Amino acid sequence: ERSSKSFNFGAYHPLETIYSWMDDLVAAHPNLVTKEQIGTSYEGRPMYVLKFSTGGDKRPAIWVDSGIHSREWVSQATGVWTANKIASDYGTDASLTSLLKTMDIYLLILANPDGYVHSHTSNRMWRKTRSQNSGSTCRGVDPNRNWDAGFGGPGASTNPCSDSYHGPSPHSEIEVKNVVNLVKNHGNFKSFISIHAYSQLLMYPYGYTCKDAFHAAELDSVGRSAVQKLSSLHGTTYKVGSICKIIYQASGGSIDWSYNLGIKYSFAFELRDTGRYGFILPANQIIPTASETWLALKDIMEYVHDHSY
Amino acid sequence: EKVFIGDQVIRVNVESEEQIRLLRALEQDTYWDLDFWLHPVNTEIPVDIRVPYSSLYAVKDYLRAHNIQFSVMISNLQELLDEEKAEMEENNMM
């Protein structure tokens, strides 16, 4: 009964509901969507990526993850809406259809399943993973300070009780390692996009250093074009720039890792707030947020499709 | 389940480098158990701080003492969370 057509995309849902809905999406689009388990979380929950593919093996691909920080609920909700959008627009949207003829899209809606469950059941403000830290009563690592990119540098904490604790070593968090393994084993990702919330930013590398990335000019141009599309829907204003220059120096971030791995089109979104709610964005804002984000995502994807390397 | 009764989220529209320095000092202080939703980095981006009820008086006093203008973005976090939870339960029923 909980078919993909009756699912309420304008609501926040617990992990089990989202995982169950993924099966419905796959069932509704068997020739396009598959659900692949990429590993398990620290607490043993499966981690599923939705793969949108029309065939072929290890085609050039685009990676999108959402909700690596569990309390940023509009990110995961946007991931759900986006998955449905890709599936339902395939065959009718000319550019998306063209892209999926030659490229695959991987979408990890719940990048931090344990944290997401914890934010639903125990602490709505939980941001990190739920791993135990040796010698500390505080749990969890900031999974966006745990990547092997300037690991342990400025903008990450050595304190396990901090919300930006980088963890004991690069990729110590199984949730991070699972993504690293998939991306490295695949070897043909052309774009890596991470969705966060909030404060309306579109960022590109680097975060661990304030030096310009080699492709900074191009990434800036791609980002500005994407944000122009995003803003055209509801007038939401975004800022574009490198992580270090637009927010602050932050080491161990995912898109710095992906960029250094050779995935040129690496971006991170900070989705909208209404200026009043922060992480508690009302559910009636999910669809407007996801809809405007999709315009930017699609613009980036089209650019990646048109600029093979 | 952790509750946030009386917790407020305060927004500071930072006006100077000196204010950034003062807010960073506040961020380093673990005594008040503050949760910086947006960090003090530059004058372009506001700073949002979730302040536990028990630290409200002291934090506001600190800001006023240093002439840092602020507004209350969320006056009682738990009220918003209760609304969010009720909405989710309603959606789940549907």
Which A residues in the span 261-300 are in contact with B, Cβ-Cβ below 8 Å? 276-280, 282-283
Specify whether the CB–CB gap between B51 and B59 falls below 8 A: yes
Asked if the Cβ–Cβ distance from B37 to A12 is below 8 Å, we say no
Task: State pLDDT tens for residues B25-66.
Answer: 999 888 899 999 999 988 888 999 999 999 999 999 999 999
State the DSSP string of A32-91. TEEEEEEEE-TTS-EEEEEEE-SS-SS-SEEEEEE-SSTT-HHHHHHHHHHHHHHHHHTT
- Burial (CB < 10 A; 0-12, 13-18, 19+), residue A112, is buried
Percent of chain B with pLDDT over 90: 84
Beta-sheet strand order (sheet of B8-12): B35-38, B47-51, B8-12, B71-74
Q: What is the mean pLDDT of residues B62-91?
A: 96
| A-chain residues near B91 (CB < 8 A) | 8, 11-13, 283
Asked if the Cβ–Cβ distance from A123 to B87 is below 8 Å, we say no
Q: What is the mean pLDDT of residues A272-276?
A: 87
The reply to whether B91 touches chain A by the CB within 8 Å rule is yes
Give pLDDT, residue A170: 98
Q: Which residue of B has its CA nearest to A278?
A: B37
Asked if the Cβ–Cβ distance from A13 to B88 is below 8 Å, we say yes
Query: Angle formed by the axes of helices A73-89 and A15-28, to 10°?
Result: 10
Asked if the Cβ–Cβ distance from A199 to B38 is below 8 Å, we say yes
pLDDT band at residue A1 using 50, 70 and 90 as cut-offs:
very low
């009636």: which residue's tokens? A284
Q: Which residue of B has its CA nearest to A275?
A: B73
The reply to whether B3 touches chain A by the CB within 8 Å rule is no
Task: For an interface test with B, give the residue of A3, A270, A279 to mutate (most B CBs within 10 A).
Answer: A279
Q: Which residue of B has its CA nearest to A14?
A: B88
The reply to whether A3 touches chain B by the CB within 8 Å rule is no
Q: Distance (Å, rounded) from C-alpha A130 to C-alpha A26?
A: 29
Which B residues in the span 14-73 are in contact with A, Cβ-Cβ below 8 Å? 30, 35, 37-39, 41, 44-45, 48, 50, 73
Give pLDDT, residue B28: 86
Give pLDDT, residue B92: 82
The reply to whether B94 touches chain A by the CB within 8 Å rule is yes
Asked if the Cβ–Cβ distance from B74 to A278 is below 8 Å, we say yes
Count CB neighbours of A206 within 10 A. 26
Q: What is the mean pLDDT of residues A204-209?
A: 97
Closest CA relative to residue A266, chosen from A65, A9, A10? A65
Sign of CA dihedral A177, A181, A184, A186: negative
B74 vs chain A: nearest CA distance in angstroms? 7
Buried b (16+ CB within 10 A) or exposed e, A64-73: bbbbbbbbbb
A11 vs chain B: nearest CA distance in angstroms? 7
Sign of CA dihedral B17, B19, B20, B24: positive
Specify whether the CB–CB gap between B77 and A280 falls below 8 A: yes
Task: State pLDDT tens for residues A115-161.
Answer: 999 999 999 999 999 999 999 999 999 999 999 999 999 999 999 99
Query: Which contiguous run of DSSP H or E holds residue A25?
Result: helix A15-28
Closest CB to B2: pick one of A122, A277, A280. Answer: A122
Q: Which residue of B has its CA nearest to A8?
A: B91
- Termini Cα distance of chain B: 25
Would you call B55 helix, strand, or coil by DSSP?
Answer: helix
pLDDT higher than threshold 50 for residue A71 = yes
Find residue A192's DSSP bridge partners.
A63, A266
Closest CB to B81: pick one of A11, A122, A280. Answer: A280
Which of A72, A173, A175, A270 is flagged as catalytic? A270
Task: State pLDDT tens for residues A2-26.
Answer: 455 689 999 999 999 999 999 999 9
Asked if the Cβ–Cβ distance from A283 to B87 is below 8 Å, we say yes
Task: State pLDDT tens for residues A29-44.
Answer: 999 999 999 999 999 9
Mean pLDDT, chain A, as a whole number? 96
């529209």: which residue's tokens? B13
Find residue B10's DSSP bridge partners.
B49, B72
A270 has catalytic annotation: yes
The two tokens of residue B52 are 């536990």
Give pLDDT, residue B18: 95
Q: Which residue of A has its CA nearest to B91?
A: A11
Give pLDDT, residue A275: 81
